Structure 1
Amino acid sequence: MKIATLADLEALEAQGFEAVFPQRTPYEVIRASAARAPDAVALRELRPEGETVLSYAAFVERIRAAANLFRTMGVTGERAVALLTPHTAAAQTALWGAQLAGRACPINPMLRPEHIAELLAEADAALVIVMGVNAEQDIWSALVPGLRAAGVRLPILDCDADAPCPGSDGRFEDLLEAHAGPLGFDIPGDEHATAAFYHTGGTTGAPKLVRHTRLNEAHVARSCAILHDLRADDVVVNGFPLFHVAGAFVYGLSTLSAGGEILIPGRLGMRDPAFTGAIWQQVERRGVTILAAVPTLLAAFNGVDVDADISGLRALLTGGSPLPTELAEATERKTGKPVRNILGMTECAGAIAVEPLHGPRTPGSCGLRMPFSEVVALADYGDADPDTSQQRAQGETGIIALRGPNVSPGYTDPARGRDTFPGGGWLVSGDLGHIDTEGRVFVTGRKKDVIIRGGHNIDPQGIEDALLAHEAVQDAAAVGMPDAYAGELPVAFVTLRKGADLDEAALIAFLRARIDEPAALPKRIAAIEAMPLTPIGKVFKPALRRIATGWALRAAAEQCGLSAEAVGIEVDDKLRASLTVPEGAEDRLRAALAGMPIEVSVSTRTEAAP
């Protein structure tokens, strides 16, 4: 049935959980689609040398072969296969094969080798798969020696290579051929067994791994397919990495659950300018019906002329960071296609709420909750433990919390999850928002100070801890600065010890050796006389975000050729911005601001633009 409203969702739930979710594990989901249409295309990966195409029947055979291979290499129900590779057909095979043999642990290969080594130990990995040497992106040559230097002694297989990979313990694709055939073991556990570990939250410090059950992943996949009305004839562009829950479940397994085709842009994903720079031609040539992209990419697509027939495109789906209303409206005007938003977290396999394809896009809304889940707004609990019994009324702002089949059982280290997993099956998101009378979820801010850059979460504490290790820094705070492309960029504020001067370049170089994820390196560090504080003495970050927002707006104006004297900028305490510009400059400044996740009004004054 098509879902457009809360009443539709409740009618779906009236059918019962077993009727709506007959397959409770990712393997069952994929195998069911293969049984319905074995020759249909499951994966199509674009490569410079040509396409890799896997039917559903061939995909299931490869998943089984991968599981058999992993079992021979020591993977059991309690051990994991670590995947350090971009989104490719081989990586998809390894992801689901690992969950049959034991557990999967996809990891961002751009993390520092020492941090990856800690994640491998925390996940109890039995082997590692790394993308091998190739002409497009060489991860192997630096990463594998780095892992060995960090003490990793596990077998390391290469995949997707087109050149020799020094130190490889075998080529994944070749080993698959030797393990083809029926599954050679009984699948351990049921739908509640741990299927995967996903890292989140930290750029430095102890590893933080989220546990996913098979049901978590299958529930999110099928729920997203229902709310997005995915069909067997859909071709869904999915360039998200598989270490991101959107790539694996929200747009990946969901498409497979509907029997549709996942179109993988290739090793570079959506960072391939040959693909994204000709996006509308790709839509026509590949028969794309659903285009999934973070808001930053939507903004980039808006800069590409629609020079092709995109009549077959049904929708553009987005999430991972706040969706500015102006960006959504501009995209809909340009394409004539609906844009739909999603709210998710790694801790619930990627989805809390989804805007239904057949419902209206509501500015500021993230859509309806997942089927058979509960989403509420909690009263602010300050520094105490979350109290899930204290819930706000409809329309009142609180801290978004949820429970349901999508919610993870917690972190591998339960001590790290008291605020996030307070018990009773609840997950506290840290987002501030409300639920309206139509059941739509709105996010209006964050209790947590996570910085979201291009859909990836950056923990500001990691940046702050690294800054505080510098002898000149007395206090430090990191916040997100609005950015039209990335959504947010990390910036930092410091107070200095008596007699110290800020050498920004030297401080950034100092951080580069201490922050594991390059994306977390601050774009700007400013020294201030004193940190703004709350009445109880904590850093008041909204005041710092207000300053950072002013920086972003000033930079956008300068990019439009407007001098500091020509633009008036005001940012209020709710981060709503008002700009006054010379007559004739309004449209180009609005275009420059279109991707920023802030509320901006632009007005003109009558004088010549510089």
Structure 2
Amino acid sequence: MTRAIHSRADIGAIEAGGFDAFLSSPSPYALLRRAAKLWPEACAIRYLPSDGKPDQSVSFAALFDHVNRAAALFRRLGGGPGVAVAVIMPHTLHTQIALWGAEAAGRACPINPMLQSDHLVALLRASGTKIAVVLGANAEVDVWDRVSQAVRAAGNDIVLLDADGDGPSPGSDGRFEALLDREPGEAMADPLPDAVASVYPTGGTTGAPKLTIHTHANEAFVAMAAARMYGLAPGEVMLNGFPLFHVAGAFVYGLSCVAAGATQLVPGRLGMRNRPFVGTFWHQVERHRIALLGAVPTVLSALVTQPLGDANIGSLRAALTGGSLLPTDLAERFEALSGVPVRNIFGMTECSGMLSAEPVAGPRTPGSTGLPLPFTEVRVIRSDLGEQCQTGEAGLILTRGPHVSPGYLDPTLGRTTFLADGWLATGDIGFQDEEGRVFLTGRAKDVIIRGGHNIDPAAIEDALIGHPAVSIAAAVGQPDRYAGELPVAFVVLEAGATASEEELLAFVAEAVPEPAARPKRIWLLDAMPLTPVGKIFKPALRAEAARYAVAAALATLPALPRDLTVSVAATGNIVVRVAELPSADEAQLRAALTGMPVEIQCSPA
């Protein structure tokens, strides 16, 4: 039903047929209705509880019925156009039902349940949430008490529902599953394509509320385009271990299965942090006949350490990855182990999760994130002048098309992101080749600035990953009194491998031709700090590097100040805080840190 895209010529043929023909179901609700009509008894979602309970499955007809019941429930509880339903849950079967039901009733606001309480409160208030569906009390992912208190703190008028808990959830206004059973399952009119479907938090796991608007057409377009890029067929199985508060879990992998009539396999509340599942991954492929794997590079890195054994993985067609730069070495290792191609995806919350992808049916071009989606424009400009770059010349990547969000809920936050004439500034540095393929070389805001010289962390990371003992690598800037920042790196070694800092420094010195870009120090970690979807959480690494630099700079003082903390603020600035410091000692501290790009906050004694 979703003819595969092989090449740029196929994209041109789609565009020649017109946008309305390509997206005849221009909302997630319309896609669900279509799936229920075309494949009513086919499995839409198979959920694998990680607590030993039996697998749960739901057909497309049953999923559409549940979504209709959820929409009716939300409207009865006060939802509707302009009213947000917060879905504060990991990925479970009822998270899917709540998300699509909220969009059908009004708008959804999916939120990471692991956020700090003050950030949760701010998001709930900023989104205009009136109903919240929260993971109920359970021993595996214990968030109910903290999240329910945050919901109450955000406003007494919010209706609080618990879902997928293992028992009573104190303070709940009702159990979501039980309430669904009492609602009628009547179908509704399709939402307008340009109406707001969701508001997605973006900008990391801390900071002031920044909510990205998605229209129904944004989400449905990305789902349909993704399905065509994958060549996804009815009945195939896609492993979707991403949470639904991440656009990849919701649209790039989740809704694309609905568009194609494929099955989503969800590996429990923990997703791809479910260690028993990851530890038996190749046999899980055999058991569930997995055709496509959706993952970030850190997950692929974990999987290449798992022996194939006697598992029959003949069903697996491709591994799909995005979220951060894909090291060519990692892709080659995964392909050598599995015999399965790796295909890269490029997207962000502000463009509904996808703007380019490598077609699964086409060849992999090392370093490429593939071709722009149909009806999608990409420009590369010189960020200082705004001029168009030449083919192969790196610059700031802009995009425009039906995937691009109308903006942030607070439009004042998007002045440098959402530009004139519908262009979105991605914040990524890269280039295009003669075929229009997109290549990423770094993040504009991820650049290490050493003495006014810009250093791309990816160059250091790629070099380190080329060492046979290194599994994962991340480079950041460390504050320095003289250079502003110095490049440093953090690595996780392969299981059973050994390497010293000195060995790695010598190796990377040979691999990184630019002396200024060679890291000054490398830390060996047992595990890399990650976000809930498996991306490397660089603020934690920047803070660790800054702590070392601050401690070294203050070593000449008679004694280190007590109650000194170093952290990374939501703005990205490094903040050094000291409590109860006499003014004379404060002067010494500021003198010792002079020249470092840090913000110093002292409380007088």
Give the structure-1-normalised TM-score: 0.77
Aligned mate of 1:404, from 401, 407, 410: 401
Indicate the residue corresponding to 1:182 in structure 2.
186
| SS at structure 2 position matched to 1:257 | helix
Aligned mate of 2:255, from 253, 256, 260: 253
Aligned residue identity for 2:498: G
| Aligned partners of 1:62 and 1:180 also within 8 Å | no
| Aligned partners of 1:558 and 1:564 also within 8 Å | no
Closer, same or farther in 2 for the Cα pair 1:395/1:144, shift >3 Å? same
Residue 442 (structure 2) pairs with residue 442 (structure 1): no
Indicate the residue corresponding to 1:311 in structure 2.
314
Indicate the residue corresponding to 1:242 in structure 2.
244
Looking at structure 2, the residues matched to 559 and 284 of structure 1 have their Cα atoms a distance apart, in angstroms, of: 27
Indicate the residue corresponding to 1:349 in structure 2.
352
| SS at structure 2 position matched to 1:323 | coil
Indicate the residue corresponding to 2:280 in structure 1.
278
Deviates more, 1:189-198 or 1:201-210: 201-210
| Aligned partners of 1:322 and 1:487 also within 8 Å | no
Residue 426 (structure 2) pairs with residue 429 (structure 1): yes
Indicate the residue corresponding to 1:136 in structure 2.
140
Indicate the residue corresponding to 1:217 in structure 2.
219
Aligned mate of 2:364, from 345, 353, 361: 361
Indicate the residue corresponding to 1:89 in structure 2.
93
Deviates more, 1:396-405 or 1:147-156: 147-156
Residue 498 (structure 2) pairs with residue 561 (structure 1): yes
Indicate the residue corresponding to 2:232 in structure 1.
230
| Aligned partners of 1:377 and 1:391 also within 8 Å | yes
For residues 257-307 of structure 1, the C-alpha deviation after alignment (integer angstroms, 9 at most, x for no partner) is 000000010111111111110000100011111111111011111011112
Closer, same or farther in 2 for the Cα pair 1:186/1:229, shift >3 Å? closer
How many Å apart are 1:486 and its aligned residue?
Answer: 9.8
After TM superposition, the structure 1 = structure 2 runs for residues 17-416 of structure 1, keeping only pairs within 5 Å, are 17-47=19-49, 48-149=52-153, 153-183=157-187, 190-307=192-309, 308-381=311-384, 387=386, 390-416=387-413
Aligned residue identity for 2:81: G
Aligned residue identity for 2:388: Q
Aligned residue identity for 2:208: A
Looking at structure 1, the residues matched to 515 and 258 of structure 2 have their Cα atoms a distance apart, in angstroms, of: 42
Aligned residue identity for 2:71: A
| Aligned partners of 1:487 and 1:596 also within 8 Å | no
Closer, same or farther in 2 for the Cα pair 1:563/1:491, shift >3 Å? closer
Indicate the residue corresponding to 2:481 in structure 1.
529
Gaps of 5+ in 2: 450-456, 521-534, 538-605
Aligned residue identity for 1:101: A
Aligned residue identity for 1:437: E
How many Å apart are 1:423 and its aligned residue?
Answer: 1.8
Looking at structure 1, the residues matched to 335 and 293 of structure 2 have their Cα atoms a distance apart, in angstroms, of: 13
Aligned mate of 2:12, from 7, 10, 13: 10
| Aligned partners of 1:251 and 1:292 also within 8 Å | yes
For residues 110-156 of structure 1, the C-alpha deviation after alignment (integer angstroms, 9 at most, x for no partner) is 11111111111111111111101123221113322244356565121
Closer, same or farther in 2 for the Cα pair 1:74/1:353, shift >3 Å? same
| SS at structure 1 position matched to 2:174 | coil
Looking at structure 1, the residues matched to 94 and 346 of structure 2 have their Cα atoms a distance apart, in angstroms, of: 28
For residues 14-67 of structure 1, the C-alpha deviation after alignment (integer angstroms, 9 at most, x for no partner) is 111122111100111111111111000001101121111100000000000000
Looking at structure 1, the residues matched to 407 and 471 of structure 2 have their Cα atoms a distance apart, in angstroms, of: 29
Closer, same or farther in 2 for the Cα pair 1:234/1:281, shift >3 Å? same
| Aligned partners of 2:151 and 2:160 also within 8 Å | no
After TM superposition, the structure 1 = structure 2 runs for residues 477-516 of structure 1, keeping only pairs within 5 Å, are 482=461, 493-494=478-479
| Aligned partners of 1:114 and 1:147 also within 8 Å | no
Looking at structure 1, the residues matched to 359 and 307 of structure 2 have their Cα atoms a distance apart, in angstroms, of: 27
| SS at structure 1 position matched to 2:325 | coil
Give the structure-2-normalised TM-score: 0.78
Indicate the residue corresponding to 2:591 in structure 1.
none
Looking at structure 2, the residues matched to 575 and 251 of structure 1 have their Cα atoms a distance apart, in angstroms, of: 40
| Aligned partners of 2:194 and 2:216 also within 8 Å | yes
| Aligned partners of 1:324 and 1:596 also within 8 Å | no
How many Å apart are 1:3 and its aligned residue?
Answer: 1.8
| SS at structure 1 position matched to 2:264 | strand
Aligned residue identity for 2:300: L
Looking at structure 2, the residues matched to 97 and 364 of structure 1 have their Cα atoms a distance apart, in angstroms, of: 39
| SS at structure 2 position matched to 1:50 | coil
| Aligned partners of 1:64 and 1:182 also within 8 Å | yes
Gaps of 5+ in 1: 452-459, 461-478, 495-527, 533-542, 580-594, 598-610
Closer, same or farther in 2 for the Cα pair 1:488/1:120, shift >3 Å? farther
| SS at structure 2 position matched to 1:316 | strand
Looking at structure 2, the residues matched to 488 and 411 of structure 1 have their Cα atoms a distance apart, in angstroms, of: 32
Looking at structure 2, the residues matched to 558 and 97 of structure 1 have their Cα atoms a distance apart, in angstroms, of: 44
Deviates more, 1:309-318 or 1:561-570: 561-570
Looking at structure 2, the residues matched to 19 and 149 of structure 1 have their Cα atoms a distance apart, in angstroms, of: 47
| Identity value in percent | 46
